[in-house]
A and B are shown apart, each in its own frame.
Chain A
Amino acid sequence: KAGVTQTPRYLIKTRGQQVTLSCSPISGHRSVSWYQQTPGQGLQFLFEYFSETQRNKGNFPGRFSGRQFSNSRSEMNVSTLELGDSALYLCASSLAAGDFSYEQYFGPGTRLTVT
């Protein structure tokens, strides 16, 4: 079974620009979560999507947004990029078939550098 895929793997953007990252979950997984990893703050939860609906959101400004499509693929968007947005963005998918917490499987991440 193919794992979680993320594109692009590396990205360099300029302050003020916007960026869109893509994530394809493991086949059959309906939940997609996004995390930001930085050396200073560590791994922080951004948001979770399930059946095209945002089900949970972390403590990030409104410049960070996402969506999920009917095939469970997800995109996240960051507008008006700031230097502090430079990070590894990780996507994770989960089976989410019941009323309890399943393990999340992570993709390789997108390394975003803002200059």
Chain B
Amino acid sequence: AQKVTQAQTEISVVEKEDVTLDCVYETRDTTYYLFWYKQPPSGELVFLIRRNSFDEQNEISGRYSWNFQKSTSSFNFTITASQVVDSAVYFCALSEDYGGSQGNLIFGKGTKLSVKP
């Protein structure tokens, strides 16, 4: 069965610290997609990144970077030089290839990140 585990429930850091959010997934499929979303206090989920199972290249976008390792079924997210505006709940999600069906994102429980000034 598909499953996403975010073992860190809450993380608190001081501004400018680097922080890594862990995500471990389970799936039987060979084709699947992984996502990260950010949910600030306003409640709206903000898309951060999508990665398919055939692309294991790490990605960097500004202060954000993602490390995808199929060997350990992990898709970790690192924020470098964290800022107060990064405070939010971060969700990792998994979607299997249903032949075009976009639904059924399987979300982890989320990691609440608090960045203190």
Contact = CB atoms under 8 A, between A and B. Distances in A.
Interface of A: 31, 33, 35, 42-45, 47-48, 50, 55-56, 58, 88, 90, 92, 94, 96, 98-109, 111
Interface stretch (B12-20, B44-52, B56-64, B72-80): B44-52
Contacts of A48: 101-104
A60 to B, nearest CB: 12
Nearest to B110: A42
Contacts, number: 81
Interface residues of B, number: 28
Contacts of B104: 33, 45, 48, 56, 58
Nearest to B42: A108
Nearest to B43: A109
Nearest to A106: B45
